[in-house]
Amino acid sequence: MTLEHPDSEHYRLHYLDGSQELYRRIGKSGRGERVHFRLVEQRERDGRALHLSYRQGRLDRLTDGAALLLRFHYSSAGLLAKVVRHYPAADVGKDIGKGVARHSEAPAEAHEPEVLVRYLHSADGDLIESRDMRGYTREYQYQHHLVTRYTHRSGLAVELEWDWPGKAEGALPAAHDARCVRNRLEDGSEDTRFEYHRGLWYTRVTDADGVVTFYRYNYHNQIESITHPFHPALGSEHWRWDEHGRLIRHIDGEGRTTHYRYDDQGRLIETVDPQGLSTRIDYDAQGLPVRVTEPDGRERSLRFDERGLPLQEIAPSGRVTTFRHNARGLPTAMTDAAGNTYQYRWNDQGRLTSASDCSRKTTQFRYDHRGWLIERRDAAGHRTHYTRDATGLLLSVEHPDGAIEHFSHDGEGRLTQYLDPTGQRTRYRYNGKGQPIERRDPMGQRFAYHYDRLLRLSALTNQNGDRWQFRYDGGGRLIEDTGFDGRTRHYRYDDGGALIERREGELVTTFTRDAMGRVLERESQRPGQPALTTRYGYDPLGRLTRAASRHSETRFHFDTADNLIAEVQRHQLPNGGDYSSVTRHTHDALGNRETTTLPDGQTLAWLRYGSGHVHAMTLDQRELMAFERDDLHREVRRHQGSREVESRFDPLGRLIEQHIRTLEDAVEDRPRHPTVRRQWHYSANGLLSQVDDNLRGTTRYGYDPLGRLRQASAPGLEEVFAFDPAGNLVDPVPPERTSESGSSTPPSDATRWRRERPRDHLDHGSEERIRLDYPGAPASLSPAMGNLLKRYAGTHYHYDASGNLTRRIAPGSETWHYQYDPEHRLIEASYYPHAPAAGDDTLPRMRARYAYDGLGRRVWKEVNRQGQPSELTVFNWDGDLLQSEEHFVGGLPPLFRPERLELARENPERPHSLPIAQRCHRLEYPGLTPERRVIYLFEPDSFVPAAKLENRFEAVHTRSGTGAVLYTEYQSTEPTLYSIHTDHLGTPMELAECDGKSNGKLAWVGHYRAWGKLIQASDGHGNPSTTDNPLRFQGQYLDEETGLHYNRHRYYDPETGRFTTQDPIGLAGGENLYMYAPNPTGWVDPLGLSRCCEESRGSRPRTKTARIKDAQLPTSGRIRYVPPESWDGSTPIPRGPNRGYLDRFGNEWTKGPSRTAGEPFEWDVQLSRTGREQIGWTTRDGTHANVSLDGKITHR
């Protein structure tokens, strides 16, 4: 910093970030008396400032010149008594979008001043109570003016003990000599003791478990090391500082060292990571970062105006983004690299009042006089109202459809009660530290949290009474956990705190890491099985470039804008064959994908407008489908060949109507095909209550108070479900069967779990119905202890020690056996018509094998049925989307291969047709005959299928050069395109041919049970379907050989509505590791990891990029958001204890008031230990950073 003395009355401090503090001499001083200078102004680089004024030497007023005006009141003893906020008589709705004020017609109502906080002091001048606006208090007790006890608003008391020189002799403490030697909560937890050894430059800290930590520091009280002398396995950390107090080196417990270098002004100019890779920063004359050079030499440039506000950003790819601001430094426009301009308007309090996208679609915001958001109106005019208390806590939300949610909070502002729009109540309880200890759902069922003496989570108790326990080492690292099912896992770490081993019974998984802590190799070993090894590679920017497993290798290639431009997949097939494919991509200036070249050479293109909304998709320059969108950019009409799909939404954005029409031409004798019409109806609490479908009739749904599906009634099919308290689907208590006369008869076995009645056999005069209020409370059901379902609907289930389903025995003794690799992935499934006895070596009727790549994606499956040729299906992937499948059958006779072949195009009339040998994929596997290839196309940025393209292969015979030998090749026929029509969740309902001859006739119409099992497929006229469709719920693919749905990371069983193995991400995916969702009518789980609620067509699962973009987390600039490695994008971004977004390094990003460039908000990043190491030295207190939307640190 720089100190300026402009005149005898003032001093000014200049900070490196451009902010200033102005100090003014207060009062007059005589000769020899001390001169007092008080802070009178804090000014940011962009001109925004806080002004402070004094009276009688005490702070009197604080204002920002706009919305904030605080007055400070004192007691007769001169002690602060209260702080009062005054509200200027300004129009809070005033728009100053471009610096020109535009007043609304009516002036703003004047509001009385409010007391924000009151203070009460003892006769000795000690603060003994503070009371907030809601009447909650904090209380303090003292001894010799030292705080010995204080009580939180929640009632939790903290006790402190002090020591000072001469205490034993009865000396009184001096403020600068007293040291806190013990800190604990009144219940004995968090009992921490401190020993200060100033002469030896260290402090010894002993926690409640007796673990001792030494903190060594230098003359400037900067930490130089943290060690555990009595527990060396806990690792250590070291810091080195230069003579100016700047961090120059950090060394973790593994010796991984990060170096920092500065210029003469103390600004960071270079960081060298443990691999020796350097990131450099250049500054302009104002001290602003104008160029960042990344480890691979790429440069990112920034340009600022004289106020330090960003004018232009040039990405390494050369893409330019520009910004405009008004006179107050508030951004008024942003033009992205594609030339799209977004506009913003603000009121005189500096709060955003409207935001317009590049299509001039505007969202408006309204605030109360305190500045809290109270209304949001979207571009379609739908209003959402928010009710808040004086402190801004949310009390209720009224949605555009009139539904109201209510919220209650305790003194610390924590949610204690939630009422949904139907009045269903969920309650929450916390301990004194604000940690949750209990959640009671609307049915009164309890989920509990338990903590140890250090307030670390020690156990969870679910609604069935099962307990999940956790154990930690002295460094707070999890070393053991035992799940609800009793399965125990052990964890081991290196000295830097990175996980290097996970042990689960006999299964051991080890991790080898590079200097940056990234996983290079993962090896899983189970006795009796070969080790399963996966290797990973990275580029200098840390991007994953290679993943290799036993059966597969995948490589990724990126451009200078970090876009994936090619994915190369190589698979080893059964019996040693090889298969390889290349998928290539191009992107627009905003990073949206423009084209994908498929492995067979076809090119799929997306035509976009604005920020990336798709208005058409083409294949080899032939239009596949075109979209029309509303003001909220939702799809309202789709044109696909001769069919048109029209969609309508309610005010909440939920799909409520869908019409699928065939556009007939002028040919009179062409048959007219049925129009598909669907309507969706929702209850007051947002649950789907009814679907009207002209092809399937009306389906009605009933739920319990937790939103779990209890009944689904469709024509000819009536299903009843029950759940244990932990959410496991179990055999329900038999419902009463009542006739119109009111008599009851005992239910049959079939009725206990499901009743099916063909409509044409019903006698409506005596139809028996299942009542939603049937007798039998959940407590009377047999719960699935440990969440292991042992029996359901007459089928028995058996599991291994890891909780994987290993055997399923259906009524009639049909049996399936399942085997898994050490990563708990299904690798073999066998089917027996009758359960084999112990020791029986009877061959299974069917056996299937499965293989996966280094990312866990299934790359092939081989199915062998008795008496039939083997079947092989090879899968290609586009990220997490199934791109294509190719089917092969066994039995191909040996071929004579001539040395030279004449290759013919697949279809000479198609300009983009290629010879097979020139395709981007290759198959080397003698003994198989190619049968067909299916390519799947999905809606943009989602897992919802839109179309499939199917090719059949035909044998083509070519003679060799001499003509003596006949050579056989298999070439694909002209593909058939099918449009896929889905329901509100993206489940395929119909497939229709899109060529001109068929005129869009239906080829596949599916009828499902509630939990996704297909009952029947037809062509819509009662005839068998003319094509197949293995796609089910989002992300699911039906394996006909097992009846299971492959769901990316797991397999889903539609018979039980749950997964066959536990969630790979553990509790991060939910409390029940087998649960798919509370109901299949409003939830999806595209990756088999974590369910997400599907509220509307516009809220379908997004990509990682789309979710991060929606959250406005910075992906460029000095400080970037890097998502957790375990997060795949199918679920909302993981959140931390303060409901902020968690990044890869454990930092928590929460929204806070903006300080830079007048942005609507900025990110308050609570730094983890890793975060403090990386950027803590750049911040004022080292524990959190304020980061703008473009990735700049705004306040140091």
3-state SS of 448-513 is EEEECCCCCEEEEECCCCCEEEEEECCCCCEEEEECCCCCEEEEEECCCCCEEEEEECCEEEEEEE
Instruction: Classify burial at 549, counting beta carbons within 10 Å of its beta carbon; exposed 0-12, middle 13-18, buried 19 or more.
Output: buried
Of residues 55 and 108, the one with the higher pLDDT is 55
**pLDDT confidence of residue 760:** 32
Give the Cα separation of 148 and 158 in Å (integer). 8
**Nearest CA-CA partner of 940 in 1167, 499, 617:** 617
What does the block give as tokens for 762? 């019903």
What are 593-637's pLDDT values in tens digits? 999 999 989 999 999 999 899 999 999 999 999 999 999 999 999
SS3 17: coil
Give the Cα separation of 310 and 324 in Å (integer). 8
What are 647-676's pLDDT values in tens digits? 999 999 999 999 999 876 444 445 455 689
Residue 1177 has pLDDT above 70, yes or no: no
- How many CA atoms within 13 Å lie on the side-chain side of 902? 9
pLDDT band at residue 899 under the 50/70/90 scheme: very low
* Residue 118 CA: distances (Å) to CA of 72, 962, 1110: 10, 103, 40
Question: How large is the average pLDDT for residues 1135-1162?
Answer: 61
What does the block give as tokens for 626? 């075109």
Least confident of 250-254, 516-520, 898-902, 963-967: 898-902
**pLDDT confidence of residue 79:** 97
**pLDDT confidence of residue 1169:** 55
Alpha helical stretches, state H, 878-929: none
Residue 193 has pLDDT above 70, yes or no: yes
Residue 735 has pLDDT above 50, yes or no: no
Residue 37 has pLDDT above 60, yes or no: yes
* Residue 582 CA: distances (Å) to CA of 553, 563, 950: 12, 16, 19
**pLDDT confidence of residue 245:** 92
Query: Residue 449 pairs with which residues in a beta bridge?
Result: 460
Of residues 32 and 312, the one with the higher pLDDT is 312
**pLDDT confidence of residue 1150:** 73
SS3 1010: coil
Contact 236, 227 (CB under 8 A): yes
Residue 164 has pLDDT above 70, yes or no: yes
Q: Which residue has the tokens 């440069």?
A: 299
**pLDDT confidence of residue 662:** 85
Give the Cα separation of 575 and 579 in Å (integer). 12
**pLDDT confidence of residue 964:** 59
pLDDT band at residue 741 under the 50/70/90 scheme: very low
Kindly report the number of other CB atoms within 10 A of residue 34's CB atom.
Answer: 5
**pLDDT confidence of residue 1141:** 77
**pLDDT confidence of residue 962:** 60
Instruction: Classify burial at 188, counting beta carbons within 10 Å of its beta carbon; exposed 0-12, middle 13-18, buried 19 or more.
Output: exposed
Residue 1006 has pLDDT above 90, yes or no: yes
For the chain, the residue count is 1196
Q: What is the largest CA-CA distance in the chain?
A: 119
**pLDDT confidence of residue 767:** 30
What does the block give as tokens for 236? 């250590």
Question: How large is the average pLDDT for residues 89-116?
Answer: 54
What are 924-933's pLDDT values in tens digits? 555 788 999 9
3-state secondary structure 339-363: CCEEEEEECCCCCEEEEECCCCCEE
**Nearest CA-CA partner of 310 in 294, 293, 325, 326:** 325
H/E stretch holding 1169 reads: helix 1169-1175
What are 219-273's pLDDT values in tens digits? 999 999 999 988 888 889 999 999 999 999 999 999 999 999 999 989 999 999 9
Give the Cα separation of 1104 and 61 in Å (integer). 46
Q: Which residue has the tokens 């806990």?
A: 234
Instruction: Kindly report the backbone phi and psi dihedral angles of residue 247, in degrees, each rounded to the nearest multiple of 5, phi listed first.
Output: -70, 125
Question: How large is the average pLDDT for residues 766-771?
Answer: 30
Give the Cα separation of 1143 and 1111 in Å (integer). 13
Residue-wise DSSP of 1135-1166: B-TTSPEE-TTS-EEEEE---STT-S-EEEEE
Of residues 8 and 1186, the one with the higher pLDDT is 8
Residue-wise DSSP of 65-132: SSS-EEEEEE-TTS-EEEEEE---S--TT-B-TTS--B--SSPPPP---EEEEEEEE-TTS-EEEEEE
Of residues 1153 and 600, the one with the higher pLDDT is 600
Residue 885 has pLDDT above 60, yes or no: yes
Give the Cα separation of 532 and 511 in Å (integer). 12
Least confident of 119-133, 370-384, 619-633, 657-671: 657-671
pLDDT band at residue 529 under the 50/70/90 scheme: confident
Cα-Cα end-to-end distance for the chain: 11
Residue 968 has pLDDT above 80, yes or no: no
**pLDDT confidence of residue 974:** 85
Question: How large is the average pLDDT for residues 480-499?
Answer: 95
What are 694-706's pLDDT values in tens digits? 999 999 999 999 9
Question: How large is the average pLDDT for residues 393-403?
Answer: 95
Least confident of 450-464, 731-745, 923-937, 1015-1029: 731-745
What are 794-837's pLDDT values in tens digits? 999 999 999 999 999 999 999 999 999 999 999 999 999 998 88
Give the Cα separation of 735 and 745 in Å (integer). 10
In this prediction, what percent of the chain has a pLDDT beyond 90? 67
pLDDT band at residue 774 under the 50/70/90 scheme: very low
- How many CA atoms within 13 Å lie on the side-chain side of 127? 17
**pLDDT confidence of residue 97:** 41
pLDDT band at residue 176 under the 50/70/90 scheme: confident
H/E stretch holding 1105 reads: helix 1104-1111
**Nearest CA-CA partner of 653 in 1129, 342, 1100:** 1100
Give the Cα separation of 498 and 419 in Å (integer). 42
pTM (predicted TM-score): 0.86
Least confident of 176-180, 916-920, 963-967, 969-973: 916-920
Sheet strands side by side (includes 1184-1187):
1141-1142, 1148-1152, 1162-1166, 1184-1187, 1193-1195
Give the Cα separation of 833 and 897 in Å (integer). 43
Residue 729 has pLDDT above 80, yes or no: yes
Give the Cα separation of 418 and 426 in Å (integer). 5
**pLDDT confidence of residue 1103:** 47
What does the block give as tokens for 94? 């005033």
Q: Measure CA 682 to chain center.
A: 26
Give the Cα separation of 755 and 716 in Å (integer). 9
**pLDDT confidence of residue 1149:** 80
The DSSP symbol for 745 reads E
The residue type found at 996 is G
The DSSP symbol for 1066 reads G
Instruction: Kindly report the backbone phi and psi dihedral angles of residue 485, in degrees, each rounded to the nearest multiple of 5, phi listed first.
Output: -90, 5
Instruction: Kindly report the backbone phi and psi dihedral angles of residue 451, in degrees, each rounded to the nearest multiple of 5, phi listed first.
Output: -135, 155
**pLDDT confidence of residue 864:** 96
pLDDT band at residue 103 under the 50/70/90 scheme: very low
**pLDDT confidence of residue 768:** 31
SS3 169: helix
The DSSP symbol for 1005 reads E
**pLDDT confidence of residue 1125:** 53
Question: How large is the average pLDDT for residues 460-471?
Answer: 97
Mean pLDDT of the chain: 85
pLDDT band at residue 348 under the 50/70/90 scheme: confident
What are 1086-1138's pLDDT values in tens digits? 999 999 886 544 333 344 555 675 566 776 555 767 777 545 454 557 666 55
Give the Cα separation of 987 and 1014 in Å (integer). 11
Residue 746 has pLDDT above 50, yes or no: no
What are 548-604's pLDDT values in tens digits? 999 999 999 999 999 999 999 999 999 788 999 999 999 999 999 999 999 989 999
